[in-house]
Amino acid sequence: MPNAEAARPNPDPRAATMALLARATRDELSTPLRDHWPNLAYATIRAAEIGLVMLRGRMGGDGAPFNLGEATMTRAVVELATGERGYGQFLGRDPARAEQAAILEALAQREADREAVEAFVLAPIRQRLAEDAQRKRAETAATRVDFFTLVRAEG
């Protein structure tokens, strides 16, 4: 399941952090930032901007690639006063959230803040995603169907 990290564990911890931040709601980022890192000093390296990513598919699912169509995305890069550079990027249009995701991605690299980012930000997102995925799977499982082939009358 793409939204449950467990199914495809990402070997790069930074990529795993980004994957969770990309799926966060605005509150899931802004509330912990306000409560635990008020007055944080950072510089904007790349101001949050909205653009497009061309999504590619593959012929037959696993063949040569083709351009399926575009999606909106937002990205931002910030740098903390202590030098860590954070990247925020996700599907959709939300500059404020992209900057918050970048700040938290930078904080997750800072030794002193890593545990707090995990506890106050990443763990709640991970839990919500797991619950959502579980609920959807359970609803889908209830529609599992067994068709029976009837014997055709010969004649």
Partner 1 sequence: MYVAVKGGERAIANAHRLVEHERRGDRNVPELGTEQIEQQLSLAVDRVMSEGSLYDRGLAALAIKQARGDLIEAIFLIRAYRTTLPRFGFSVPLDTADMAIRRRISSTYKDLPGGQVLGPTFDYTHRLLDFALAAEGNPAPPVTAPVDTAERFPRVTDLIAQDDLIERNPPENPGQPVGDLTREPLAFPAERDLRLQNLARGDEGFLLALGYSTQRGYGRNHPFVGEIRMGEVEVEFDIPELGLMASLGEVTLTECQMVNQFKGSLTEPAKFTRGYGLSFGHCERRAMSMSLVDRALRADELGEERTSPAQDEEFVLSHSDNIQATGFVEHLKLPHYVDFQAELALLRQMRRELETRASTHPEAAE
Residues 76, 98: contact at Cβ < 8 Å? yes
> Which H or E element spans position 52?
strand 42-58
Q: Are 96 and 72 in contact (CB under 8 A)?
A: no
Kindly state the tokens that stand for 76.
């931002």
Q: At residue 112, what is the residue type?
A: A
**Residue 69 or 83 having the CB closest to partner 1:** 69
Are 20 and 3 spatial neighbours (Cβ–Cβ below 8 Å)?
Answer: no
Q: What span, in angstroms and rounded, lies between the C-alpha atoms of 5 and 1?
A: 8
Which residue number, 7 or 153, has a Cβ lying nearer to partner 1?
A: 7
Nearer to partner 1, 22 or 80 (CB): 22
Binding site residues, partner 1, CB under 8 A: 1-3, 7-8, 10, 12, 14-15, 18-19, 22-23, 49-73, 75, 87, 89-93, 133-147, 149
Please tell me the distance from the alpha carbon of residue 54 to that of residue 57, in angstroms, as a whole number. Answer: 10
Measured from the CB atom, the residue of 34 and 131 that comes closer to partner 1 is 131
Q: How far is the CB of 96 from partner 1 (least distance, A)?
A: 15
Determine contact, residues 86/92, Cβ cutoff 8 Å.
Answer: no
To the nearest whole angstrom, how small is the minimum distance from the Cβ of residue 109 to partner 1? Answer: 11
Q: Which is nearer to partner 1, 20 or 33 (CB)?
A: 20
| Rounded least distance, CB 6 to partner 1, Å | 9
**Least distance in angstroms from the C-beta of 49 to partner 1:** 8
CB of 117 to partner 1, least distance (A): 17
